[in-house]
Amino acid sequence: MTKTKSNSITIRDVANKAGISVATVSRYLNGTTPVSAEVANRLEQVMAELNYIPHSTARKLATNKTDTIGLLTMDISGDFFAPLMNGIEEITSQNGFDLLIASTRQSQKHQKVIPSIGPHNTDGLLIFANSLDESLLTRYHASGYPMVLIHYSPPRNLPIPCVTVENRSASCKIVEHLIEVHGRRRIVFLRGEEGQEDSYWREMGYQLALQKHSIPFDPHLVAPGEFEREIAAQSIQYLITSGVEFDGVFAGDDEAAVGVLAALKMAGKRVPEEISVVGFDDQRMSPYLNPPLTTVRAHTDEVGRAAAQSLVDLIQIGSAELLTLLPTEIVIRQSCGCKPV
């Protein structure tokens, strides 16, 4: 006899029909471990065919809500993410939502996996940078699932709200400061992760500053930073040992600037007397580095608040601003060569 009532279908029925283990089905439904796109698609299809409703979903079926917002990111290490998550949590808690966070590991960046959070266990999703595969982004949007992108513009023809900061103009200004005030002309730029939108616009600002001062762009002065201390330090060490001459470094972000300062100190280079160093973000550690870091303040906590509010608006009233571009400002300290005020 064919089972037709959703409450008579068990997780074992789903597992048997999908040809996978009960444990895998459980992990997918509970959001504890990412599964492959193939497995997730098979599970969603089987659950639809069997009209299976997980117990956690059934409890809130009357409202069709979980009262939970998800945050999907590739990494939560470093000082950057704490203020971002604080800003998000402030808004979610004010509006009665729990916050569920999932981090795709570094080894998973280039794999197509279904994240452990999504339409099956949250009312909406905050997506940091490009931590969700574009095909899934398209699929979720087509289903009407609320999403807001953070530091990541939506693919063409997908009207998904995005919250980010002004990168290009601020990057141009801070590089111009090195040129105009401190006479630097051989300025290194350390790129962020490949395909990372913030990194792209910061490099565009770097190149614009060079163009405005008739300084030829030298590709030898552009190196990986990956927004990571160790990689930034390795790049600086490589440039020095390779004999590349430079008198300034735009580190791409403050996390990379920490690695830059360490590498220059190890090489016996004086900052800022010989080499100026600047960053981006103005993380909480930046005023306490030696020397204190000149950087761009990006108000990361406000990015979190704005993104979370946009998602709450999408969930509660069905609409939100498509683009929220938050201002940035230059913060002058001593690592560029300026004297303490």
* Inter-residue contact 257 to 79 (CB < 8 Å): no
**Parent domain of 52:** 1-63
Do residues 292 and 174 share a domain? yes
Do the beta carbons of residue 279 and residue 293 sit within 8 Å?
A: yes
Alpha carbon of residue 277 to chain centroid: 24
CATH number, domain with residue 242? 3.40.50.2300
Q: Would 206 be classed as within a structural domain?
A: yes
Residue 51 lies inside a defined structural domain of this protein:
yes
Give the pLDDT confidence score for residue 61 in this predicted structure.
44
CA distances from 161 to 210, 305, 313, 336 (A): 33, 14, 11, 36
Residue 287 is assigned to a structural domain of this protein: yes
Reported as a single tens digit per residue, the pLDDT across 201-211 is 999 999 999 99
Q: What is the dihedral of CA 101, 164, 261, 275, to 10 degrees?
A: 170
Q: Does residue 277 belong to any structural domain of this protein? A: yes
Residue 232 lies in a domain: yes
The residue from 14, 48, 63 where one domain ends is 63
* CA–CA separation, 121 and 56 (whole Å): 8
One DSSP character per residue, 37-89 reads: HHHHHHHHHHHHHHT---HHHHTTTTTT---EEEEEES---SSSHHHHHHHHH
Burial class of residue 270, CB neighbours in 10 A (0-12, 13-18, 19+): exposed
Residues of the chain with pLDDT under 70: 1-8, 30-33, 53-64, 105-113
Question: Residue 63: how many CB atoms within 10 A of its CB?
Answer: 8
**Of 280, 297, 314, which marks where a domain is finished?**
297
Q: Residue 298 contacts by C-beta under 8 Å, 6 or more apart in sequence? A: 165, 280, 281, 282, 326, 328
In a domain, 79, yes or no: no
| Ordered alpha helix ranges (H), 229-299 | 229-241, 254-266
Same-domain pairing of 174 and 289 = yes
Count of the separate structural domains present in the chain: 2
pLDDT in tens, 51-93: 876 655 544 444 468 899 999 998 777 788 899 999 999 999 9
Q: What is the pLDDT of residue 98?
A: 94
- Residue 173 and residue 57 share a domain: no
Q: Give residue 27's pLDDT.
A: 74
Residue 241 lies in a domain: yes
Domain-embedded: residue 139: no
Q: Which of 63, 84, 113 is the last residue of a domain?
A: 63
CATH number of the domain that residue 6 is part of:
1.10.260.40
